[in-house]
Amino acid sequence: MRPIAAAAGIAAALALAGPAAGFAQGEVLENEDILSLTAAGLPPEVIVAKIESTATAFDTSVEKLVALVQAGVHADVLAAMAKASASTSAASEPPADDPVGDKAPVEQPRAEPEPVRRASWQVGARFSDALNSGGRGPEMVVVPAGSFYMGCVSGMGCSSRERPIRDVSFANPFAVSLHEVTLDEYDRYTAATGRPPVDDGGWGRGRRPAVNVSWSDAQEYVAWLSRETGGAYRLLTEAEWEYAARAGSTTQFHFGDHPMELCRYGNHADVSVPERLEWRNTLCSDRVALETADVGSYAPNPWGLHDMHGNAWEWVEDCWNENHEGSPTDGSALTEGDCSRRIVRGGSWNNRPALLRAAGRNGVGVGERGLNIGFRVARTLVP
């Protein structure tokens, strides 16, 4: 973590970030202002403080966030922009009555997202399809069409498994679940199909990721989800997974290269775990020891996806191959190679930072299960 600047230092820098940065008092901060402040070399904490003390009118759509990432805007600044944008939206709505007066706030149940009309998929839209048997499926977000370089483009910690670098393009947007499939969601499936519930390791169920799920189990789940919703659900391809995890970045992690920031974004082996784990990240604490965390407990990437780094390895569709040689450039799955093993991505709660990199990959037998292996789902979008 970066040291927090002294209050006097922030105040002085904020003074410089006023009219001298190209806008006057009383004006509203917009995306272009953030780009100007970043280009001027102001530290992220100063820009965040400016956002928190100034009226804002940010465009935090996925396309705009990707452009900000590519322009070098820091993850902390992006998070502050998203928070300010949400606050602005909430402030524009009429206030609700406060039934508790001066009492402590009462946690409200999570609101279920509304489904999106099939003919009007918008990049960044969130939705959840209704299940025929009652309830709703996983919450999804639409990620944009586009291109990226797949593999170890950061040049840091590279393995031969992550080469050669491939130029991959996606002709159409697709939807990805905001986080790994939860035990609540998977338990609904096992109850509906008469399958036994999976072992949670004694850690609890609810919003923890569904682990102890094999690749074959995950395939049965997405087939059931497709029947229940009428949508084309499936596992992500390996290329889709890395594209979504990177969210426009070319660094080791979507937020940058340094593992000292990793605890803000993912559950992994850090100072929260016993010292006997020599590979642990000694630079920070994610506040969770050797177990999974509730999905969404950590900050999302710029495309709104949580837990792309850590918590549980995630199955993808592709057969295992020792490297990216010959892998498709259209984002589809590679269905040749050792198909008795499939690829897992993202790392887990018991892994060192190197295994959580966006380029990191491993192969596991299709029938194998483990307390550190789960999955998330994709949905093909058809008007």
Out of 73, 91, 109, pick the residue that ends a domain. 91
The span from the first CA to the last CA of the chain, in angstroms, equals 44
Are 80 and 124 in the same domain?
no
Structure confidence at residue 100 (pLDDT) = 30
Asked if residue 183 and residue 51 are part of one domain, the reply reads no
Give which of 94, 243, 102, 232 is closest to 167, Cα–Cα.
243
As to burial, measured by CB atoms within 10 angstroms (0-12 exposed, 13-18 middle, 19+ buried), residue 4 is exposed
What pLDDT is attached to residue 342?
A: 98
Same domain, 162 and 24: no
287 falls within a domain: yes
> Looking at this protein, which amino acid is placed at residue 358?
A
298 with 351, same domain: the answer is yes
Residue 106 maps to a domain:
no
Does residue 110 form part of some domain?
no
- Is there a domain that residue 203 lies in? yes
What is the per-residue pLDDT for 43?
84
Q: Please tell me the distance from the alpha carbon of residue 148 to that of residue 248, in angstroms, as a whole number.
A: 7
Q: Are residues 256 and 334 in the same domain?
A: yes
| Alpha carbons 295 and 182: distance in angstroms, whole number | 7
Residues 80 and 157 in one domain: no
Three-state SS at 195: coil
d(CA 66, CA 147): 12
Q: Do both 169 and 316 map to the same domain?
A: yes
pTM: 0.71
Task: Say if 282 falls within a structural domain.
Answer: yes
Same domain, 148 and 255: yes
Long-range contacts of 184-188 (CB under 8 A, 24+ apart): 185/137, 185/138, 185/210, 186/210, 186/213, 186/221, 188/131, 188/133, 188/135
- pLDDT at position 25 is 45
> Do 192 and 339 share a structural domain?
yes
Q: Is residue 103 part of a domain?
A: no
One domain, residues 199 and 341? yes
Per the structure, the complete domain to which residue 60 belongs is given by 7-91
Q: Residue 365 is inside which H or E element, if any?
A: strand 361-365
Residues of the chain with pLDDT under 50: 1-25, 89-119
pLDDT tens digit sequence for 371-382? 999 999 999 997
Same domain, 147 and 235: yes
Same domain (yes/no): 87, 131: no
The CATH number of residue 356's host domain is 3.90.1580.10
Could you give the 3-state DSSP secondary structure of residue 306? Answer: coil
Tell which of 55, 73, 91 closes a domain: 91
Domain assignment present for residue 105? The answer is: no
Point out the domain boundary residue: 91, 126, 148: 91
Q: How many structural domains does the chain have?
A: 2
Q: Tell me, yes or no, whether 266 lies in a domain.
A: yes
- Tokens of residue 369, six digits: 């299960």
Q: What pLDDT, on a 0 to 100 scale, did the predictor assign at position 127?
A: 95
d(CA 55, CA 29): 6
